[in-house]
Amino acid sequence: MIVDLLGNLSERIKGKLGPFILVIGTTDVSLIPGISFAGASPELTMFTPAADAEFLMTGKCKVIDSVPVTPDGIPTPALITRASLSFLKVTRLIANAGSRVNPKIPFINLNGEPGKDIRYGGLRREVGEGILEQGVILGENLKSDIIYIGESVPGGTTTAAAVLSGLGYDGVSLVSSSSPVNPKELKKRVVDQALKSAPKETLERIFWLSDPVLIAVAGIALGFKGVTVLSGGTQMAAVAAILKELDKGKLSNVGIATTRWIINDSSSNLYSLAKEIGINLTYSNVSFAESKFNGLRAYEQGYVKEGVGAGGSMVMSLSSGVSSQELVRRIEEVYSSLINA
């Protein structure tokens, strides 16, 4: 079941299929110990986006031996996305906005660079402008009624918090985490330090506080003519905030589709962010509470929650007539094949 919290996205996307684009990238923010859980260790977070991309496209990872996991061993949400899209005849594309590790599968090169630690500037102006421009060109060349865009960028909720704060929103207190224990204090220190040194000019400020993925997603949405479904959690609120700065009118054709776990997360508030920004918000009301797998039931305790477009891909599947039960069964099949591999 799909639930509209803001706007009527579920009606506008009903029965419409379009390409799913996973935008990947890295930021050195994820190397700060304790800030990201999108990898078994800070160093391994650098492999997560490439491995997610490989898993989505082929069902296997190449840059690492198995799928990305949290430090607790909970596997990547890429498995939800792969399972959800398996019901649908939709093209899957990987766009690399700037990653320290390239996936060993075909990917769209946005000619970007990995993001640096935002305390000292995430993206230089020319890098940010380049990623934005390349995203726009890609978006212009994707012709469809609708596109879904997901993200994989460890450390991404921290850069999202920084961008949101830099644009005047309540950042750190509202963004989520892939851990049930959202490391707010640490995020706040990083964001505060980044803000202290950030330039005043809007675009330079955004680049300084951002990772490459936020910029690329915004660029693709700007270039695309049609409905853009930002498939993710609070990071997509940061994208929406960027879009609002660059082209306010665009927001009417954009919505965020996320998971129930993000909506139920007491450590973040995507609803309040989306409302303040003025963007449509919808979520997939799918539960893993009854799953026979610990690694999936963990989502109900706040592990992982979202990523790799999990929420949006479930929404696309549900909006095409797939039931929640079928969806969970398929996700369990993918999960089971993973742990038996």
Chain residues that interact with its own copies, rule: CB under 8 A? 19, 57-58, 88-93, 95-96, 102, 104-111, 134-135, 137-138, 140-144
Query: Whole-number minimum distance, CB 162 to its own copies, in Å?
Result: 26
Instruction: Evaluate whether 115 touches 212 at the Cβ level (below 8 Å).
Output: yes
Query: Whole-number minimum distance, CB 41 to its own copies, in Å?
Result: 27
Q: 140: which 2 tokens?
A: 């212009």
Place of tokens 């299929």: 17
Q: Which is nearer to its own copies, 14 or 60 (CB)?
A: 60
Element containing residue 281 per DSSP (H, E): strand 280-284
Spacing of C-alpha 69 from chain mean position: 16
Q: 161: which 2 tokens?
A: 């918090």
Q: Which is nearer to its own copies, 144 or 287 (CB)?
A: 144
How far apart, in whole angstroms, are the C-alpha atoms of residue 106 and residue 93? 8
Instruction: Evaluate whether 157 touches 25 at the Cβ level (below 8 Å).
Output: no
Query: Whole-number minimum distance, CB 18 to its own copies, in Å?
Result: 10
Helix (H, G, I), strand (E, B) or coil at 174: coil
Query: Whole-number minimum distance, CB 55 to its own copies, in Å?
Result: 12
Q: Which is nearer to its own copies, 96 or 269 (CB)?
A: 96
Q: Which is nearer to its own copies, 66 or 91 (CB)?
A: 91
Quickly count: other Cβ atoms within 10 Å of residue 337's Cβ.
11
Instruction: Evaluate whether 262 touches 233 at the Cβ level (below 8 Å).
Output: yes
Q: Which is nearer to its own copies, 143 or 292 (CB)?
A: 143
Query: Whole-number minimum distance, CB 152 to its own copies, in Å?
Result: 16
Helix axes 184-197, 156-166, angle to 10 degrees: 50
Q: Which is nearer to its own copies, 145 or 290 (CB)?
A: 145
Query: Whole-number minimum distance, CB 95 to its own copies, in Å?
Result: 7
- The terminus-to-terminus CA distance of the chain in angstroms comes to 31
